[in-house]
Amino acid sequence: MIAIVKNNFDNTWVTKDKKLCYIGFETGYKPNYQYHYTSYFEKWLINKNCDPKKTLIENRIADISYHFESACIAGPWTLDAAYDGILKSKYKNLCALCGSPSGCYEGDRFYGMQGAISCLLENVGEIAWLSRSIAVPYFAEMSSYGFSLLCPDGMFIPLSVNKTCTWITEPRPTIVARSEVADRVLKSITDMERSGKAFYSIVHASYKFSHLKNVVPALIPEEYMRSFQGYLSSKVHSYCPPDRTVRWCVSSNIEASKCGWIQAAALAVDIQPKISCIQQKDKKSAIQAIVDDRCDVYIAKPEEELNARSMNLTPIAHLISNKDLEANRFAAIVKKDAKFKNLNDLKGSNACFTGYKSVGWNSFFTILRNSSSRWDCSDAKAMSQFFNRSCVYGLSEMNTTIPKNLYSLCNSSFIDKSLGPEENTFKCLMNGGDVAFVNVSAAKKYYSDETNKSEEPCFLVETTLGSILASKNITQVRREEIYLLFLSLDRFFGNIYDRETAMFTLYGPYEGHSDIIFPDKTQHLQKHVDDRRRGQTYEEILENLQDKVICGLSSNSSLKSSISFLTFMIFHAIWTLSA
């Protein structure tokens, strides 16, 4: 990487109030490593300020805005599009030199590496940070316009293909192995190269190179990187108080192991703020740790969210699956020969639930509670009054505060502890139950869908795969910073980034285990869910359950309203179970 400046500069350190042509910030989903080094350039030239009322990215942008008179930094500044717009409205001088200052987006004629070169050649800016290999063909033209190379030692030298003044040299891609197996790995790769086997061609497809070269003598990674000018220095970030580290709560050994890998991978690609993994003994303790300010975030499954929100936690982002929408949907399933026509017909029937305060439980109780004020305020009492007998998976007769008919349908003869809640709930339906409230995707192998294909899919509620939870008491700055951290993790280690073989995968099985921290079916993260869902969302259910309502009263008019509302809901919400 090189710095090119107008010849009217006095020295390296007099860049204040100059006009900057900038390649931008690396926030896209395709790797472009030149963007990674812009912070190194800024560290050399710009005084760093740390305003605790600003996010790390805003502090960086504010420093550039204060240092330079104007600039063109086209393209996204942050992965959060809404926040990106706020920053561009606040620091307008950093878009002032763009072809379209009001837009300042990708596609601007001064966007990216080529755009920064055009910005200089059109005499718009006075300084740029460029890749030498890309800029070399323009040296003669730039020289005629009065530009020179700016060196790290403060000297200026003429633009020439025969002279260089490099700030950072990027290491070549390498194949690294543990020292005890390095010789065997080297022999295997050499043999594959000679025979043209698959591994060599795969590596060549990801990393463009002409040939492989052995590093002799063998070096540890740090020694190898030290031989490339400025590279290790570019990896050192100055501290910006207060400490912004995000304390990530996990609830098992396997989660702690995965979190440790996430922490290391994030550090390797310079994601900020840093991550600290804090293990608790179980999920309940992890949520309590956030309440006690011993942790900042916890990844909760939908069935954990009601309890978490009652403890003053709130979602930062939601885990979304686009491929299998049925994995996010919950429905009331009945037997094929059932006589039920609507949800109200279920009164006095036998019900099967995957758990107390599970998604299905909360969804049906919300319908019940909102339909009439006559139902008891207690969900357990209301459900015990509505249904004859139930099997709520996980409830124990040892709990004397729970009405007995909520677990009287459970029978040890069909409960199989080796199976999950969904499977056992279906076994309940086949052993005395009339209706089961379950996840549609998990239910597929048990039922045949005989709904009218021309109608909307019938489900009680649609939910996400989970949420990233934090305390409601954190500031908006902290909230945005945590959100940006997870967007960065999703960008580098999720399912979208167009890159060579990933060093780490955020979603999917981990060490042979499924759904560790993140559900395997997670596709991406999203701040809001109401803009992509049809029908009632679980987010609305959770908000509704936290509202104070009048309940426990008897009213004929309310009961009539209840029947009408439930009739409408069940027409779109009952599936049939094959015999």
Tokens representing residue 141 in the block: 């033209």
The answer, yes or no, to whether residue 87 has pLDDT greater than 80, is yes
Predicted confidence at residue 373, as pLDDT, reads 67
Rounded to whole angstroms, how far apart are CA atoms 354 and 423? 9
Percent of the chain past pLDDT 70, that is, above it, reads 82
Please tell me the distance from the alpha carbon of residue 306 to that of residue 539, in angstroms, as a whole number: 10
The reply to whether omega before 137 is within 30° of 0 (cis) is no
pLDDT digit string (tens) for 321-349?
Answer: 876 566 678 888 888 888 888 888 999 99
Can you give the pLDDT at residue 427? Answer: 87
3-state helix, strand, coil in the chain (%, to 5): 35, 15, 50
CA distance from start to end of the chain: 69
Which residue is it, tokens 């249904």?
387
pLDDT-based confidence at residue 497 (cuts at 50, 70, 90): low
Q: Are 421 and 357 in contact (CB under 8 A)?
A: no
Residue 394: strand, helix, or coil: coil
Q: What is the mean pLDDT of residues 81-110?
A: 95
pLDDT interval class at 566 (50, 70, 90): very low
Q: Which two tokens stand for residue 70?
A: 């104007």
Confidence band of 561 (pLDDT split at 50, 70, 90): very low
Pick from 440, 430, 486: which is nearest to 317 by CA? 486
**pLDDT tens digit string along 11-26?**
656 788 999 999 988 7
Highest mean predicted confidence (pLDDT) among 137-141, 233-237, 440-444: 137-141
- Residue pair 320/529 in contact (Cβ under 8 Å)? The answer is yes
Strand order in the sheet with 147-150: 70-72, 19-21, 127-130, 2-6, 147-150, 156-158
Q: How many CA atoms lie within 13 A of 482 on its CB side?
A: 27
Instruction: With a cut of 70, say whether residue 273 has pLDDT above it.
Output: yes
For the ranges 76-80, 376-380, 440-444, 500-504, the maximum mean pLDDT occurs at 76-80
Q: Report which of 433, 435, 438, 427 is spatially closest to residue 408, judged by C-alpha positions.
A: 433
Q: What does the alpha-carbon distance between residue 436 and residue 354 come to, in Å, rounded to a whole number?
A: 8
C-alpha 464/C-alpha 110 separation (Å) is: 40
**What is the pLDDT averaged over residues 491-497?**
83
For the record, the structure tokens of 193 come out as: 């190269």
Q: Please report the pLDDT score of residue 478 as a whole number.
A: 97
Distance CA 556, CA 535 (A): 28
Question: What local confidence, expressed as pLDDT, does residue 262 receive?
Answer: 96
φ, ψ for residue 443, nearest 5 deg: -85, -15
Most confident listed range (229-243, 279-293, 330-344): 279-293
Can you give the pLDDT at residue 419?
Answer: 81
Mean pLDDT value of segment 132-152: 91
Chain segment 36-68, per-residue pLDDT in tens: 678 888 888 898 899 999 999 999 999 999 999
> Is the per-residue pLDDT at 134 higher than 70?
yes
Q: Which one is predicted more confidently, 449 or 186?
A: 186
Residue 317 has pLDDT above 90, yes or no: yes
Give the residue with greater pLDDT, 393 vs 412.
Answer: 393
Task: Report which DSSP code applies to 385.
Answer: H
Residue 555 pLDDT > 60, yes or no? no
For 393, residues 6+ apart whose C-beta sits below 8 A from its C-beta are 352, 353, 354, 355, 410, 415, 421, 424, 425, 428
CA-to-CA dists, residue 346 to 61, 107, 450, 563, angstroms: 59, 58, 19, 11
* pLDDT on residue 338: 86
Q: How far is CA 73 from CA 98, 180, 252, in A?
A: 7, 47, 44
Interval 399-405 mean pLDDT: 83
* Per-residue model confidence (pLDDT) at position 552: 57
The pLDDT > 90 percentage for the chain reads 46
Phi, psi of 437 (to 5 degrees): -105, 105
Q: What is the mean pLDDT of the chain?
A: 84
Interatomic CA distance for residues 406 and 391, integer angstroms: 6
Extended beta strands in 280-339, E state: 298-300, 313-320, 329-335
Residue 214's pLDDT band (cuts 50, 70, 90): confident
Q: Which residue's entry shows tokens 């740029």?
A: 128
Q: What is the pLDDT of residue 422?
A: 86
Instruction: In whole angstroms, give the CA distance from residue 168 to residue 150.
Output: 13
Q: What is the mean pLDDT of residues 435-464?
A: 70
Q: How far apart are CA 483 and CA 468, in angstroms?
A: 9
